[in-house]
Structure 1
Amino acid sequence: MNRREALTRVAWIMGGTVIGANLFLEGCTRKATGSVESLFEPETIDLLGNIADTILPPTGSPGAKEAGVGSFIPVMVRDCYTPEDQQVFLDGLRQLDKVSNDQFGRKFQKLTADERTELLIAADREAKAHQTQKTENDPNHYFHLVKQLTLLGYFTSELGATKALRYVQVPGKYDGDFPYKKGDKAWAI
C-alpha cells in the first residue's frame, strides 16, 4: 500500500470527519509539469541512481542506487517541491551534464567512478558557497536538493535503515547516556 492509498483509507475510515479532507487528499496528488515527468524516464532514474550512488556508494552496506534512491527522487521532486525548486532541480541536472561534457568530454553517465566523484565534489563546494551566501528569496542550489533527497531516500529505505543503521523494530526504553564508540552505526527506529 502506498501513501496515497493509506491516506484515502484513513479518510474513509474516519467517515470524512477530517476537516478539509478533500484538500488534504488533493495535496498528495499534485500534477507535475511535463518537464518534471521527464524525471520518471528510465534513463533519468538511472542517472539519479548513479548520482546518488556516487554520494553514498556501496561499502560495508548497500549503496544508494541499490536502495532505490533513483526512483525515490522523482516522486519527492514532483510531490513535495515548489515549481521553482522543481525547475532548479531540472536545470541543475542539465548543468551537471554540461559541466561533465566541458570538463571530461562525456556525459555524467559515461564517466568513471573517480571522475563522477571529482565532479560531484566540485558541485558540493559550489552548493555550499551558494547556500551560505543566498538570501531568503534566492533559490536553492540544485546539488543541495540532490544531496538532501539522496540522504533522505537512502536512510528511510529498508536497506538504509537496516543495513547502514542499527535497526530495532521494537525499541526499548530511552537511554540518553548510551555508550558510543567511534565507528559505531547510528540507530534507526
Structure 2
Amino acid sequence: MELKKYKLADIADFNKSSISKSETFKEIIYLDTSSITENVVSGTVVMNTKEAPSRAQRKVTNNTIIYSTVRPRLKHYGILSRPQNNFIISTGFTTIDIKDLYKDKIDPRYLYLLLTQPTITDYIGNIADTAVSAYPSINPSDLSSLCFMFPDYDIQKTIADIWNNYDRKIELNRAINQNLPILDHSLRAVEVRLAA
C-alpha cells in the first residue's frame, strides 16, 4: 500500500462559496456553530433571507466538511451529505471542499475522519488556546497548513464506507431512543413492608 502526503491547502478549497446579492432564495435553512457536534446536527432554523443574521453567509455542497473556528475543543464539526441548495451555514465555520483536480484521489469522508482524530482536534484546540482573541479560535490557515498521508483512493473509500455505515447505524439508534417512552417513576406504586 502506497501512501501519499498532501497538504490540505493543495487538495482542498477553504470557504469556497458565499451567498451573493444575486441569490434568489426567499428563505434559507441556517446552521449555526452550536447546532452541530461531531457530525450530529441538533437543529437548523428556517428563516426569511431578509431576516437572516449577517453571519449566515457560507454555502455548502455535497460532502462539504464544516469545522467551527470558534472554540474548536467543543467539536462543532461535520460533513454534510446532500444539503439543499438554500442550506447556509455560519461564517463561524470554515468550509472544506475537495478541489476538482483531487476528487479521484481524495475521499472527503476519509479526510473528515483524519481531521476529527483526537490527536488533530487536540492540536487544533492547542492552537486555539493560544489565539490572541477574546475566546479560543483558529483561522482557516491553521487547517489548510495540515498535512496528511493518504492511501490509494479505493482504500480511503472502503474505510469511509465502513465509517458511514456505522455512523448511519448510530443515527438510527439515536432516532429509536428518542422515540422510546420515558418511564415516569413518580407514578409507580410503591409497596412498603414493615419490619416484623
Q: Is the TM value for this pair above 0.5?
A: no
Which is richer in helix? 1
Which is richer in strand? 2
TM-score (norm 2): 0.30
